Amino acid sequence: MNKTLLTLSTMALLMLSGCGQPAPGGIGGSNISNADTVSIDEGRYGDNGTYNSSSDGFQSVYFNFDDYTVPGNQEGAISKDAANAQRVGGKIKVEGNCDEFGTDEYNYALGLKRAKAVKDSLVMQGIPASRMVLVSYGESNPACTAQTDACYAQNRRVDLRLVK
């Protein structure tokens, strides 16, 4: 009887503890529906400089919620960043950032994966990997602090800067 009660209690505890944050393994392979994502309006990012928190002529690259795959509408920003990297030379710091959702550890890992995705895209466009340094700020470096979907979208980004 006691063994059955202990087993049932343990199973109930395990089921209830599964209702928290998504595990880091869910990044990219998440079961979050498209209804939970915020679409990125290409006209609001990049060419006109709006929400660009990169410096030295680079453009920020924005990501969808809980994802580190470079969205198709951000490929133009990466192409411009590659051209700028060819022009300016020197080491480039690739900084991954996240919105405030998720644990610190989860967001650090997600920011690093976003930075690596941008680095890989730049390497495919001819920028040597040896010129890039990856950093993840997780959620600790927000570009915007308002609690709105548009603000959260600004924080899901990779910024590029020259290392000085």
Residue 9 lies in a domain: no
Put simply, whether the predicted model's pTM sits higher than 0.75 gets the answer: no
Residue 18 backbone phi and psi in degrees, to 5: -80, 5
Residue 22 maps to a domain: no
Q: List, for residues 1-34, the tens digit of each pLDDT value.
A: 555 544 445 444 444 444 333 333 333 333 333 3
Token couple for 99: 């919105």
Count of structural domains within the chain: 1
- pLDDT grade for 148, boundaries at 50, 70 and 90: very high
Residue 147: give its domain's CATH number. 3.30.1330.60
Q: Is residue 18 assigned to a domain?
A: no
**Domain membership flag for residue 14:** no
Domain that residue 119 falls in: 37-162
- Percent pLDDT > 70 in the chain is 69
**113 within domain boundaries:** yes
For residue 102, pLDDT beyond 60: yes
DSSP state of 85: H
Question: Contact at 8 Å (CB) between 118 and 158?
Answer: yes
158: β partners: 61, 96
Instruction: Specify if 4 maps to a domain.
Output: no
Other beta carbons within 10 Å of 145: 9
